[in-house]
Structure 1
Amino acid sequence: MSVGKDYIVSKVLNNNVILAIDYKTRQELILIGKGIGFGKKEGKMTNLQNKDIEKSFIVYDEKTKKEYFQLISQMDGNVMGVSEEIIAIAEKHLGQLNSHIHIALTDHIGFAIDRIKIGLEMNNPFLFEIRALYPEEFQIGLLAAEIIRDRLDAKISESEVGFIALHFHSARQNKKVTETVKDTRFLKEIIDLIQNELSVSIDNRDLMYTRLINHLRVTINRLEEKKYIENPLLSNIKQQFKESYRISQKIGEYIREKKHINVTEEELGYLSLHIERIKETSKIISKRVTESYQA
């Protein structure tokens, strides 16, 4: 037998999401479940079975609560309801997210839809980096775009999917979105530096690009956490790949200058291997292009 609880409906956001007060504990909650908002009246009591509530969360601290209620007063309830459904799906796949995402992502989605209505497209300069660095979050972003299209009749661009993915990653890491953007920009700057040193252009859709940017992210995270690794190939790398090691040293200096962390020789050695692969691959591609012109 399913157990039910009494709630006072504060606001119906859409057919699947309501803001309610637990009649017994007096806690304010967001309740999510298929059809639980249908036919509900604000200010009225309703009994909901536990099996009908797929997800619930408490409207946390006073600051978050105040911001959330300001958002409710300003935004279309359907947008808020869809945003909550998207967040619930994200938490199923990504785990518990920082509670501020209920404000930050909802606000972003609402603003994105407003921009779409007036034909204003927002470019995302870090789209390829976001896709490579945060693949799980990006996949949820694509799912969010489908839900928004189907439920709110708004077509979200891939650039917007990237921004949504940033919100998920930030909430997952308990960071501000601005910090995540800063980290992503920094990694892109390092890759630009490598491209300039080698006088090559790496296709950002290529697996090599994905491997490099993820290697850089893991390396910096490891160094920030003061976790150090050994590199038994270091002496050979220094001798055989001198140019690549020189470039990796330059990258190490850049990281030290911007992040105030020391990049060990062992890490520089592993980075040199990635740089060497890029250098050799670009030579092969260049040779093929030359031969095709000569043929």
Structure 2
Amino acid sequence: MKVIKKINNNVALCVDNHKKELIAFGKGIGFPPMPYEISDLSSISMTFYRMDQSFYKLLEEIPEEVFEVSAIIVKKAQMTLDCSLNPNLLPGLADHIHFALKRIEKYKEMKMLFSYDIEQLYPAETSLARYAVGLIERKLRVKLPDSEITNIAMHFVNAEEENIGETNGEIDTDQLIDEVTGMIEQTFETEIDREGFNYNRFVMHFRYFLKRIIEKKQFIDDNGALFGTLKAEKPEIYDCAVQISDRVVERLHAEITQDEILYLMIHINRIIKNNTIN
């Protein structure tokens, strides 16, 4: 197996003997000059195939310890859940954990409640998410709210469905995402890099947003204070989120909670901050 690009000290992009790309984990494999051949494959602890290349840059930006604990969780999911999982579960989960840690620091007053409905509907995924939260707390020495059990469980649920849009016959999800992207570009007079990993991250979160609305599992918490603060500080973000919500309401014939609008505001702000060309 040839190592062709370092991601961090213990993770690298590789090519196997069949010329297929993979992400490999192994102590110190990122240290030698690239490219090089790994002669002892026993040094490789985990491998992940078929990951979307648009996520490679994201992997470089996630702290090494977050990425590695995410990989352990995904491996556990692969062994525990009786189904195939989307290969992009690893970068998606790592990104979520990284963002959750930053969110705890920045939005300490934000409440996201544990969902007993999710636990009843998806007991295997919830049990696995409890394990994940415990592992994160031990490895990263941080206390997570119980809501992260629900959030991580939903990552597993979504990874079991390769394309959320295909599970719902009411709307063309890809078309709606394209429309929403255009609305963001028009509002902020900018161009979004639709090939970049930040856009892929936004699309992933927007699909989860749609899935919650379609399945009537929206966030309904008590985040009024934070909502009001962000609305006052970032009125353009708020106006854009409302316009997008109105478009989704029109397509899905469903009301959208204030907490879901807050969720949209956070992710619109994130993509405008990180993912514009101009």
TM-score norm. by structure 2 comes to 0.54
> Among 209, 231, 236, which residue is 1:178 paired with?
209
Report the 3-state secondary structure (helix = DSSP H, G, I; strand = E; otherwise coil) of the residue aligned with 2:216: helix
- Return closer, same or farther for 1:152/1:121 CA change in 2, 3 Å cut-off: farther
Q: Number of aligned residue pairs: give it.
A: 178
Partner of residue 111 from structure 1, selected from 99, 107, 110 = 99
One-letter code of the match for 1:10? K
Q: Which residue of 2 aligns with 1:81?
A: 68
Q: Give the gaps of 5 or more residues in structure 2.
A: 165-206, 221-251, 255-278
Q: 1:90 aligns with which of 77, 101, 116?
A: 77
In our comparison, the structure showing a higher alpha carbon Rg is 1
Cα 1:133–1:77, aligned 2, differ >3 Å: closer, same or farther?
A: same
Matched residue of 1:88: which SS?
Answer: helix
1:1-295 matched pairs, under 5 angstroms: 6-8=1-3, 10-11=5-6, 13=8, 15=10, 18-22=11-15, 24-32=17-25, 36-38=26-28, 40-44=30-34, 45=36, 47=38, 49-51=40-42, 53-60=44-51, 64-66=52-54, 68-94=55-81, 95-118=83-106, 120=108, 122-125=110-113, 127-174=115-162, 175=164, 176-185=207-216
1:177 alignment partner AA: Y
1:184–1:26 CA distance, 2 compared to 1 (3 A)? same
Alignment partners' CA distance in 2, 1:80 and 1:51: 21
SS at match of 2:6: strand
- Give secondary structure in 2 for the equivalent of 1:185: coil
Deviates more, 1:88-97 or 1:48-57: 48-57
Q: CA RMSD in A?
A: 3.2
Cα deviation 1:165-204 (Å, max 9, x = unaligned): 0110011123342344224425999xxxxxxxxxxxxxxx
1:81 to 1:24, Cα distance in 2 relative to 1, 3 A: same
Q: Report the Cα offset of residue 103 of structure 1.
A: 2.8
> Distance in 1 between the 2:87 and 2:134 partners?
23
TM-score when normalising by structure 1: 0.51
Q: Give structure 1 stretches of 5+ with no counterpart.
A: 1-5, 190-256, 260-295
8 A contact 1:137–1:168 mirrored in 2: yes
